[in-house]
Structures are given as structure tokens and as C-alpha cells.
């Protein structure tokens, strides 16, 4: 502590135009920069100074249109200060305002500050600021400036009187006040304060004080653009009371009345009858808990003194802390502002921003708790200043231990009811899911019984059909036998005529169908013969070029693939194989071809996946579709695939076919996948590079679709075919 002689020595330096601080520049700088963690807290401390000066209104103006050189004005209509007040009070760091002789006892109880360091909040924000103050009349203004940039560490800074009138941004408000103080800070660096932090500023101010208990009003205006008009908004408490499920409240303001009577936990269930069910909210009776009494406490000199204590406030537990599910639009939770905190106040000023940070709870529901409580015994004038304690000393203080003993039963009761309603809803979900499973099982049993009955009926019908066919077969054999006997009797018929008649009648149905299936092969071989003949003629005339050779290979390769396809499916075809085009369901053809032809290959498993069973009727050449499928399967096997999925999808505008295998994937040397569709571009030792060329040619030229390769995957291969519906 500074001695009376040292105080007198500093006071002797004062002049009419200069008032010296009782701390060196180094001490002021250290205190000013280390007391506060952010600009909002520092501004809140300066507002508290105005409230301690009995201001009815405090205005906070922030112009951050130039963030690095922001302007802050804090204007109050409090008592104001004259020269004596500045010299005896303002510049004395560490002065306890509650010991002022001119303060009434009731006023002392409401003074927020105790250590006399709140004014240093200005130094956290700026090294150069102005104090405008008036005590007697609106026109008698004392103007002072402190500029710390011109001092050495060992110097004692001072307030310098400014005689030239200082015009502030909000002179219209300041000019009308008969008394009060204006703190004007220039060149405040607010670059670390983004849009969210500024948006949350009013909420931070509202939490810094017990707004509902103050006899004063606080107004805030923030400008982020010079063109903005100054608009002061009253600071009000933002509490999402309608989002609370349960509450303890012993305030005179009856905050519990702001809650909803019931809440639907819509996010807790996917079943409407559970999600929309209203759950009655819970209000705890304050008589159920001990919240006040008398206790002996130890003073700084070790004496025991009996003091009354009382916890006043409200504590609630939220139904949800997820902003998207919040029932009350006031519930806003982001990186800057967190509403779900248990705030502890002393003399209407925030003492602990979140009690759970000082006294952590193992309960998961601690994140759901919010409340405003006052426990003034924490800052009693007769007891040690708890604000100067370390975290551990704070927790070990007997007053904090007393506070914990009062809070724990209340908070645990809130945890209990919130956990119970959560478990109740979970049980309802489980019960309903079990009911659904039971209904599905009953349905499955009925369907199984119906299936078995249908199968039995089908077997019976099959037996009857087989019996009828056997009966018909015997009748036909008897008829043939009779015809044979009749032929033997026709000995007078000519031998040539008899031979022709014999050949025609000897062709059974299988032979006739086989002749039809050879039709397509004859067409393709005839086409190959014509192509060869034309190119031989070109060669003889000396006009056969490399381009002609490539075209010849393309056509012969394509026709060869078509003939191979005919040989694959013709024996099983039910359609007229003599016709090149058919108009039918393309997806059904693909599925049947895979199941009856390609499935015979044991090197790969083919899986057909259809999004639905809608028909995709299109005019197509079966040989072409077979060529596509054969080439895809061949390529997948070459790349060591064991599974090939063929996904058939039919939506409103397009039909798509995706071929996806689990093989080695594309060669990493391939930079442009479009090259794979060029004739003769092979990337395997056994490949000729014609398969994908034929696929692209058939899809784009014959079927008017598109085909591409999905190249982003590192394993496996995907070919995507797409048709636009006509």
C-alpha cells in the first residue's frame, strides 16, 4: 500500500490543468492489458462505473466502420465528477468506493466496484482517451485527456485538462444531460471482433448485469458502415424461457411464468404420436430447498463474524440445446454466445460467467442448465475479496462451498427430471418399435401361409397340366402311327414326290426354329462378304488406304461380335430371331440375358439390381445389347473382377444402366478416359481395344444414348449408360 506521505507527494504534483495517477505507467499498462480478455468485458466494466455513479441511462456507441481505428463513446447521466472527484477518486487506483464517507449505507450495498480498478478497462481498449464530465450544469463541462503513449515505464501518467471544446459523435445526447460522464476512446483496435461477436454484444451486456434488477437502462448502438444511421437499442435480457423444461425460481419477478405449460419433444422421436405429445413442464417449490440462513465466516484478520446469506434467482434445464430444435427463437447458441450457463451475480454484476467452469459436473445434463443467481455474501465488505483468489482458493473459500451446498440439490433435481423425461420418451420409442415388429411378424406369417397355399395350388395345377399334356402326347403318337400305316399303303406315289414330302414332314419344331436362328448369321456373313469384296476392289485399284483398313476391321469386328451374340442367345430366344429389330422391355431383356446366358460363366458373379419394375419399352436389336453385355463381362474378367453389378434405373425423364465391378480398376497411366472408346486402344496384354468402341457406337448411334466412364474411383470400374425417354 502507498503511504500517506507518498499520496501527499503525488497530490502536490497536481495543478489546475494536470492530475496525476498514483501508479506508474508500467503498472497501469500491466493492469489495463491483463485484467480483461476481450473488448466486450472491458466496455461492460466502464458501463458499471456509470451505474455506480447512479446513472439512470448509459449509452454505448461503437463505430467500427474502420475496425482498426474504431471509436467508442460511453455516456451516462450519473453524478458526474468535478476536479476534486477526479483528484481524490478517479486517479487513485485501488480505492474502495464503498468506503466513501458521502455514500449512504443503502447506496453502499448497491455499489458494484470494490477494488477501484474498473477505470483501467479504458486502458485495455486505448492508450489515448478523453473524459468529459459535468456535475452542476449541462454547460459546465470539464474535459480531460490521458495519453499513455508519451510516458516511460517509470513515469506517473496524468490527466491533462483540454480547454478546446471536444465535439463527440453523440453530442445531441450528451448536450441534453445536466450531469454525467462521457468516456471517448479513439483508435480502438476491434479487428478481432467479427460480425457474430458484435451481434452478440447486446446479449453479453445483458448477461454482465442483472438487467431486470437494475434501476437503470443501458442502450447500445453499433455501426459497421459510415453510412449507417445511429440507432440505440435498449439492452434486454435474452433468455429462452419457453425452451426450459423445468425450473427452480425464488425471485420476486416470478420468472417461471415465462415458461410454457407444456413442451413437445419433437426431435426425440420419428413417430408423430410420440414426437407431438405435449409434456407438462415442471416448477420446483422454493420451500423444498434451503437457500438462506445465518453462518459464521472468518474475516481477513481471522475473527469469526455471523452473517446472513441468501441465494436469490432462477435455475432451469433446457428441453434441448440444439438451436435447430429449440422451441424458443430466443435460444441462440454459437461460437461467441452460449446461453446454457449458470451465471453468478454479486450486487447485480456478473461475478462468475459459468459456475460449471469453476465447479465442473460429471452429469451430461450440465450443458442443459441455465440460470441467473445472486449470492451477495461472496462480496461482503467485512469478508476477504474473493475476486482476487486463484481458482483453487476460490473453490476452497467457505462461501463458495456454501454456495455449492445450496446449488447441488437444486441442480441434481433438475438433472433428474430432465433425464427421466428423456428416458420416458426413449421407452415409448422402444415400446412402439416392438409393437411395429410384432405387427410385421404377424403380417409375415400370414403372407407365408398365403404363399404356401398358393404354391400348393400351383403344384396341383402343374400336376393337372402335366397329366393333360401326357394324355395329348399319347394321342398324337397314336395319330402319327396311324398316318405311318396309311403312308405305307400309298405305294403308287412317285419317288421324287415321296422324297420331298418326307423331308418337309420330317422337320420338327426344333429344326424349323434352328433354321430361323441361322437367318441372322447368314445376314451378317453376307455383309462381311460384301465388305471384303468392296475393299479387295479398292486394293486392286490402288485406292486402299490405312483408313479403309481401320474401317474394315471395325465393321468385321462388330459383325463378328453380333454373330457370336446370336450363337449365345439364339437357342433360348422366344422372340422372332428372323427379325433384326424388336420393340419390347429393354430391362427385361438385359435381366434374362444375364440370368440365362452370362450366368453360365463361373469366373464372375453377375448381380442385377432394379430400382423398380417399371417397363422401359424401346426399339432395339438384341444382337447389339448382347454385344454390350458380352464386352462388359469380358473386360471385367480381364481386370480380375469377381462381381459385376448391373443397376437398372427408370425415372421420369431418363433411364440409366450402371455397370460396376470390383476389379483392378483403370490403368493409372490412363489420363483421358475418352481414349478408351477409340478403336484399337487396348490397355491390357490380351485386349484388342475394340470392346468399348462397339459399346459406345451402339449406345450413341443405335440407341441415341450417352456412355461414359467414372474415373474418380481407385478400385473397380464403373460404366454409366444413359437414355433420354422419348
Compute the distance between CA of residue 547 and CA of residue 527 in angstroms, rounded to an integer. 19
Q: Which residue has the cell 430466443?
A: 330
Provide CATH code, domain 4-234. 3.30.565.10
Q: What average pLDDT does the segment 173-195 reach?
A: 91
pLDDT for 567-608, tens place per residue? Answer: 655 555 555 555 578 888 888 889 888 888 788 778 899 999
The confidence score (pLDDT) of residue 205 equals 80
- Residue 21 near residue 123 (C-beta atoms within 8 A): no
Under the banding of pLDDT at 50, 70 and 90, the label for residue 683 is: low
**Pairing relationship of beta strands 605-610 and 142-147 according to DSSP bridges:** unpaired
Q: How close are the terminal C-alpha atoms of the chain, in Å?
A: 94
The confidence score (pLDDT) of residue 726 equals 66
Compute the distance between CA of residue 562 and CA of residue 625 in angstroms, rounded to an integer. 9
Sign of the torsion angle spanned by Cα atoms 652, 654, 660, 666: negative
Q: Which CATH class is domain 580-724?
A: alpha beta
Spell out where 9-167 has E strands. 18-20, 57-63, 70-76, 128-134, 142-147, 158-161
Q: Torsion over CA of 398, 401, 402 and 405, rounded to 10 degrees? A: -160
| Average of per-residue pLDDT values in the chain | 81
pTM of the model: 0.56
- Name the strands in the sheet holding 70-76, side by side, starting at the edge strand that comes first in the sequence: 18-20, 158-161, 142-147, 128-134, 180-188, 70-76, 57-63, 217-223, 233-234
- Residue 648 near residue 610 (C-beta atoms within 8 A): yes
- Residue 219 near residue 256 (C-beta atoms within 8 A): no
Any idea which of 101-115, 118-132, 285-299 has the lowest mean pLDDT? 101-115
Q: What average pLDDT does the segment 250-263 reach?
A: 93
Top-confidence range, 104-113, 328-337, 401-410:
401-410
Q: What average pLDDT does the segment 415-443 reach?
A: 95
Any idea which of 1-15, 64-78, 337-351, 430-444 has the lowest mean pLDDT? 1-15
The better pLDDT of the pair 487, 81 is held by 81
pLDDT for 612-623, tens place per residue? Answer: 788 888 888 888
Going from N- to C-terminal start, the domains of the chain cover 4-234, 241-428, 493-560, 580-724
The confidence score (pLDDT) of residue 36 equals 79
The confidence score (pLDDT) of residue 507 equals 43
- Residue 285: C-alpha distances to residues 247, 291, 410 (Å): 9, 12, 10
Q: HSE (CB half, 13 Å, CA atoms) of 345?
A: 23
pLDDT for 295-327, tens place per residue? Answer: 999 988 889 999 999 999 999 999 998 878 777
pLDDT for 266-280, tens place per residue? Answer: 999 999 999 999 999
Q: Looking only at Cα atoms, what is the longest distance across the chain?
A: 161
* CA neighbor of 279 nearest in space, from 250, 309, 319: 319
Under the banding of pLDDT at 50, 70 and 90, the label for residue 103 is: very low
Q: HSE (CB half, 13 Å, CA atoms) of 549?
A: 5
The confidence score (pLDDT) of residue 175 equals 92
Q: Which residue has the cell 432395339?
A: 620
pLDDT of 715 over the 70 cut: yes
Q: What average pLDDT does the segment 709-715 reach?
A: 74
The confidence score (pLDDT) of residue 495 equals 40
Q: What average pLDDT does the segment 174-196 reach?
A: 89
pLDDT of 82 over the 60 cut: yes
Q: Given this chain, do its domains 4-234 and 580-724 carry the same CATH topology?
A: yes
Compute the distance between CA of residue 265 and CA of residue 59 in angstroms, rounded to an integer. 41
Compute the distance between CA of residue 141 and CA of residue 439 in angstroms, rounded to an integer. 84
pLDDT for 365-408, tens place per residue? Answer: 778 999 999 999 998 888 887 765 556 667 788 999 999 999 99
Under the banding of pLDDT at 50, 70 and 90, the label for residue 218 is: very high
* CA neighbor of 288 nearest in space, from 423, 396, 416, 399: 416
Q: What are phi and psi of 654, to 5 degrees?
A: -135, 155
The confidence score (pLDDT) of residue 519 equals 47
The confidence score (pLDDT) of residue 631 equals 87
The confidence score (pLDDT) of residue 152 equals 87
Residues 6+ away with beta carbon under 8 Å from 231: 221
Compute the distance between CA of residue 61 and CA of residue 74 in angstroms, rounded to an integer. 6
Amino acid at each position: 500500500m502507498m503511504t500517506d506521505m507518498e499520496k501527499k507527494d503525488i497530490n502536490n504534483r497536481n495543478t489546475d490543468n494536470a492530475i496525476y495517477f498514483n501508479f506508474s505507467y508500467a503498472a497501469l499498462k500491466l493492469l489495463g492489458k491483463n485484467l480483461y480478455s476481450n473488448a466486450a468485458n472491458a466496455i461492460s466494466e466502464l458501463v458499471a462505473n456509470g451505474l455506480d455513479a447512479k446513472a439512470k441511462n448509459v449509452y454505448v456507441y461503437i463505430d467500427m466502420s474502420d475496425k482498426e481505428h474504431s471509436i467508442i463513446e460511453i455516456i451516462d447521466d450519473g453524478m458526474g465528477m468535478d476536479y476534486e472527484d477526479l483528484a481524490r477518486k478517479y486517479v487513485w487506483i485501488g480505492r474502495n468506493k464503498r468506503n466513501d464517507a458521502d455514500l449512504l449505507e443503502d447506496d453502499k450495498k448497491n455499489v458494484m466496484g470494490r477494488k477501484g480498478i474498473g477505470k483501467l478497462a479504458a486502458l485495455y481498449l486505448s492508450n489515448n482517451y478523453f473524459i468529459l464530465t459535468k456535475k452542476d450544469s449541462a454547460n459546465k463541462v470539464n474535459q480531460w485527456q490521458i495519453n499513455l503513449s508519451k510516458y516511460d515505464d517509470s513515469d506517473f501518467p496524468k490527466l491533462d485538462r483540454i480547454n478546446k471544446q471536444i465535439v463527440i459523435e453523440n453530442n445531441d445526447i450528451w448536450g441534453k444531460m445536466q450531469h454525467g460522464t462521457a468516456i471517448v476512446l479513439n483508435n480502438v483496435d476491434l479487428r478481432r471482433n467479427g460480425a457474430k461477436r458484435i451481434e452478440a454484444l447486446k446479449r453479453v451486456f445483458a448477461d454482465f448485469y442483472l438487467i431486470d434488477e437494475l434501476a437503470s437502462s443501458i442502450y447500445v448502438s453499433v455501426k459497421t458502415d459510415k453510412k449507417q444511421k445511429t440507432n440505440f437499442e435498449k439492452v434486454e435480457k435474452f433468455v429462452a424461457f419457453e425452451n426450459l423444461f423445468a425450473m427452480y425460481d425464488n425471485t420476486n419477478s416470478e420468472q417461471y411464468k415465462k415458461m410454457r405449460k407444456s413442451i413437445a419433444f419433437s426431435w426425440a422421436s420419428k413417430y408423430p404420436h410420440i414426437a407431438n405429445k405435449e409434456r407438462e413442464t415442471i416448477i420446483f417449490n422454493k420451500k423444498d430447498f434451503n437457500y438462506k440462513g445465518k453462518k459464521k465466516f472468518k474475516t481477513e484478520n481471522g475473527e469469526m463474524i455471523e452473517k446472513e446469506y441468501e441465494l436469490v434467482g432462477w435455475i432451469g434445464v433446457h428441453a434441448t440445446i440444439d438451436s435447430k430444435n429449440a422451441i424458443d427463437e430466443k435460444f441462440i447458441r454459437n461460437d461467441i454466445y452460449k446461453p446454457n450457463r449458470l451465471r453468478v451475480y454479486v450486487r447485480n454484476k456478473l461475478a462468475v460467467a459459468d459456475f460449471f467452469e469453476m465447479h465442473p459436473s460429471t452429469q451430461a445434463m450440465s450443458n442443459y442448465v441455465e440460470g441467473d443467481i445472486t449470492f451477495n455474501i461472496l462480496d461482503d465488505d467485512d469478508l476477504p475479496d474473493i475476486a482476487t483468489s486463484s481458482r483453487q482458493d476460490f473453490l476452497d473459500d467457505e462461501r463458495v462451498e456454501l454456495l455449492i451446498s445450496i446449488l447441488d440439490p437444486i441442480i441434481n433435481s433438475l438433472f433428474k427430471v430432465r433425464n427421466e423425461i428423456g428416458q420416458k420418451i426413449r421407452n415409448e420409442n422402444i415400446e412402439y418399435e416392438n409393437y411395429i415388429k410384432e405387427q410385421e411378424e404377424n403380417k409375415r406369417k400370414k403372407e407365408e401361409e398365403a404363399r404356401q397355399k398358393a404354391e400348393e395350388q400351383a403344384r396341383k395345377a402343374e400336376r393337372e397340366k402335366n397329366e393333360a399334356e401326357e394324355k395329348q402326347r399319347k394321342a398324337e403318337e397314336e395319330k402319327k402311327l396311324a398316318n405311318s400305316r396309311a403312308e405305307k399303303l400309298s405305294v403308287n406315289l412317285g419317288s421324287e414326290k415321296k422324297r420331298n414330302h418326307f423331308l418337309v414332314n420330317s422337320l420338327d419344331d426344333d429344326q424349323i426354329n434352328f433354321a430361323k436362328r441361322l437367318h441372322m448369321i447368314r445376314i451378317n456373313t453376307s455383309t462381311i462378304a460384301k465388305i471384303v469384296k468392296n475393299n479387295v476392289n479398292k486394293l486392286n485399284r490402288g485406292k486402299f488406304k490405312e483408313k479403309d483398313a481401320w474401317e474394315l476391321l471395325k465393321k468385321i469386328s462388330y459383325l463378328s461380335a453380333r454373330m457370336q451374340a446370336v450363337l449365345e442367345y439364339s437357342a433360348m430366344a422366344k422372340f422372332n430371331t428372323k427379325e433384326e429389330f424388336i420393340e419390347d422391355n429393354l430391362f427385361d431383356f438385359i435381366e434374362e440375358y444375364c440370368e440365362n446366358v452370362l450366368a453360365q460363366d463361373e469366373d464372375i458373379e453377375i448381380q442385377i439390381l432394379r430400382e423398380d419394375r417399371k417397363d422401359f419399352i424401346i426399339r432395339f436389336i438384341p444382337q447389339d445389347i448382347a454385344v454390350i453385355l458380352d464386352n462388359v463381362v469380358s473386360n471385367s474378367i480381364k481386370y480380375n473382377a469377381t462381381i459385376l453389378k448391373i443397376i437398372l434405373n427408370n425415372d421420369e425423364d431418363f433411364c440409366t444402366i450402371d455397370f460396376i465391378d470390383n476389379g483392378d480398376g483403370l490403368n493409372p497411366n490412363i489420363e483421358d478416359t475418352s481414349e478408351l472408346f477409340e478403336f484399337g486402344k487396348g490397355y491390357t496384354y490380351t485386349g484388342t481395344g475394340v470392346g468399348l468402341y462397339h459399346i459406345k457406337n451402339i449406345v450413341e448411334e443405335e440407341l441415341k444414348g450417352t456412355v461414359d466412364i467414372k474415373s474418380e474411383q481407385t478400385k473397380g470400374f464403373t460404366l454409366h449408360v444413359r437414355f433420354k425417354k422419348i
